[in-house]
């Protein structure tokens, strides 16, 4: 089957808190769009430039040492570039560390798509990303394979054996996923409540009009 039509995209806003961005747009999004991100080479780019001309799936991660973020991004890495190109959709990950951590994180996860950092968490704050962590007992990400103990041990080991001992961002910061653009359009908002509260990638791809990837098989594509 062919890709979903480019427009309209179904708006999926799951709660009053998440709807706040859409309801108050374009004020908050316009403010965020002016803020600068940093790429792996230290070059600065306005956040709004990422979705001015095309739709963009924008994934904000907690921090680069977070084991759940690592495993989520490993699944994002399985999305073939040609599927995004065919749908004219950009896939972007944003972290909150120094830009020096971008290339090691991409090497670790195999992530080949766009990635930037918001070191001062300005965009995180403007878009309402949560701080602290709600209970995780009823939430399970389909993309996280490690349990809390093993995942935390690996994260701590990476922190201790890295060039500098740091958590590559605020450990209390939560992330989220948005589908934005072109321009000031907001199609989807999911603000993570805790480290396991990820938006399922297949759902996000479908809403953005991109063919869905079967994450149990790196190369299997599911027509939608």
Domain range summary for the chain, segments of one domain joined by + = 24-133+140-206
- Please tell me the pTM assigned to this model: 0.78
CATH of domain 24-133+140-206: 3.40.30.10
Q: Using pLDDT thresholds of 50, 70 and 90, give the confidence band for residue 8.
A: very low
Spatial contact of 8 and 163, defined as CB atoms under 8 Å apart = no
Mean pLDDT (whole number) for 151-169: 54
Segment 179-193, tens digit of pLDDT: 999 999 999 999 998
Spatial contact of 97 and 64, defined as CB atoms under 8 Å apart = yes
Find which of 40-44, 97-101, 163-167 is predicted with most confidence, using mean pLDDT. 40-44
Which tokens belong to 64?
């680069």
Which tokens belong to 92?
């972007």
Mean pLDDT (whole number) for 207-211: 92
């Amino acid at each position: 089957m062919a890709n979903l039509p480019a427009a309209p995209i179904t708006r999926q806003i799951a709660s009053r808190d998440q709807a706040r961005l859409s309801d108050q747009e374009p004020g908050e999004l316009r403010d965020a769009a002016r803020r600068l991100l940093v790429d792996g080479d230290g070059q600065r780019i306005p956040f709004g430039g990422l979705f001015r001309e095309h739709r963009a799936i924008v994934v904000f991660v907690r921090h680069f040492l977070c084991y759940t973020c690592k495993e989520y991004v490993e699944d994002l890495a399985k999305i073939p570039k040609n599927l995004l190109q065919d749908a004219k959709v950009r896939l972007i990950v944003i972290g909150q560390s120094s830009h020096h951590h971008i290339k090691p994180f991409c090497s670790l996860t195999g992530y080949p798509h766009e990635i930037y950092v918001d070191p001062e968490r300005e965009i995180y704050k403007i878009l309402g990303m949560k701080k602290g962590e709600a209970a995780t007992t009823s939430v399970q990400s389909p993309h996280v394979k490690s349990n809390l103990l093993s995942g935390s041990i690996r994260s701590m080991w990476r922190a201790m054996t890295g060039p500098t001992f740091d958590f590559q961002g605020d450990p209390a910061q939560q992330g989220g996923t948005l589908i934005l653009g072109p321009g000031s359009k907001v199609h989807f908002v999911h603000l993570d409540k805790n480290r396991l509260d990820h938006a399922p990638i297949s759902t996000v791809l479908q809403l953005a009009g991109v063919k869905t990837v079967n994450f149990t098989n790196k190369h299997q594509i599911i027509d939608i």
